[in-house]
Amino acid sequence: MYKTRHILLWLLFVNPLLLLGQSAKVAATSKLQAGPMVGYSDMREVMLWVQTKGPARVQIRYSETGTSKNGKVAPVHLTNEVQTNRQTVFTAHLLADQVEPGKKYKYELLIEGRTVSLPYRTQFQTQSLWQWRTDPPSFRFGVGSCTYVNEEGTDRPGKAYGDGYEIFTALTAQKPDFMLWTGDNTYTREVDWNSRTGVMRRYTHTRSLPDMQPLLASTHNYAIWDDHDYGPNDADRSYWLKPVTLEAFKLFWTNPNFVFPEGCAGTFFWNDCQFFLLDDRTFRAPNDKPDGPEKPYFGDKQLQWLLDALTFSKAPFKFIVTGGQIINPTVAFENYATYGTERERLFKAIADAKIPGILFITGDRHHSILHRLDRESAGYPLYDLTISPLTSSVAQPRADELKQPTYVDGTLVAERNFGILSVTGPLTDRVLNIKVYNQKGAERWSRDIRASELK
């Protein structure tokens, strides 16, 4: 009888409270449009991102995984609270600034003070303070470009251009420390690129893909743009709405810095390696303009910054990340070779300055491939790793491209794919491993490049 009374009391009082709590979580979850996404990571702060369906108060609650040294539960912290609004398309950047170097954190998203229930892992990490103490830690990062998400009514008639969204599940399963989105991260359409409303809707539509959410929530993310997330196909400096697409880029991505107010170029470090995020659209002359000194691709200002930053950098691997292929000498499509005068200027400047450790990471071409340019005068080769596409349709290279002396045999992947790059080894002998996987997660090829080969 005593037990029966307690059960009845639980049913009458406690159980309704649990149901109310559960319904509050459901209500909070229903307000979520996209994310949460983990953005840049440094030793003292991490940026997170979220988008709601309408005006709402959002915040991140986080704590270090495990327990503290004295056996107590790790303290719980809160980011700044943001009221999302229509002007910023209901997006919010949330700063976790009560963190310590080299730690892992679990987190929860709060909407209107209520915890959002998410069926996948939510975590972030800070970078380690290794300098003057140890060798730099090993790390892994994902690479991918060309993410087309179908939308009935705005897609072109005929066969759907996007597919294979399970690629994001395969990517998440690799558990990279961060993801490099190397351009065409969304595809604006004719209905989009003439209005701010269209641009913001397209960015929202792509970011809301359900298959993408687990990757965004547990992996740090950095991005550049190429033509489709900047404007129309092959768009250049003449694109009339580029301030709006730059606004969208800054609202939807959380890169740690922008070195020019008018573009998306910037840089970041992960352990001992440096990544140079270049803007191949803002300063670019039209593709069909005759080649010569008056046909910029990156432009004087950006090239000068890049060369200065490369010269200053002590990183064993200096990854230059941009949309179009750099090393491929085929004068076709949007390869840098169609801007031959500036291309030769950059290559000569790198050689003259004797800058070691440079590798290019590119996208755009809807197939993956590795190019290597041997340079006797410089003493070490330049590599260009193209990884493409994630979910867009696949395209084959031209036959003459595979006959170029720069093509590394056996590295062509003409299916939807992504890359996982790993940096391992002591500071004095760092090794880069490149692996390319198809959309199901099957490995297609693997290569090692030692930092010592690039100096």
> pLDDT tens per residue, the chain (455 residues)?
555 565 555 445 556 544 545 666 677 889 999 999 999 999 999 999 999 999 999 999 999 998 666 778 899 999 999 999 999 999 999 999 999 999 999 999 999 999 999 999 999 999 999 999 999 999 999 999 999 999 999 999 999 999 999 999 999 999 999 999 999 999 999 999 999 999 999 999 999 999 999 999 999 999 999 999 999 999 999 999 999 999 999 999 999 999 999 999 999 999 999 999 999 999 999 999 999 999 999 999 999 999 999 999 999 999 999 999 999 999 999 999 999 999 999 999 999 999 999 999 999 999 999 999 999 888 899 999 999 999 999 999 999 999 999 999 999 999 999 999 999 999 999 999 999 999 999 999 999 999 999 99
Separation of alpha carbons 135 and 139, rounded Å: 12
Domain parsing of the chain, residue ranges:
31-125, 139-454
Contact assessment for residue 100 and residue 93, using Cβ atoms and an 8 Å cutoff: no
C-alpha distance from residue 179 to each of 52, 166, 454 (Å): 23, 16, 24
Contact assessment for residue 419 and residue 144, using Cβ atoms and an 8 Å cutoff: yes
Separation of alpha carbons 36 and 26, rounded Å: 16
β-pairing, 104-111 with 123-125? antiparallel
Separation of alpha carbons 353 and 309, rounded Å: 12
* 397 Cβ contact list (under 8 Å, min separation 6): 365, 367, 369, 412, 414
Which CATH architecture is the domain 139-454 placed in?
4-Layer Sandwich (3.60)
Separation of alpha carbons 174 and 442, rounded Å: 11
Contact assessment for residue 219 and residue 176, using Cβ atoms and an 8 Å cutoff: yes
Instruction: Classify domain 31-125 at the CATH topology level.
Output: Immunoglobulin-like (2.60.40)
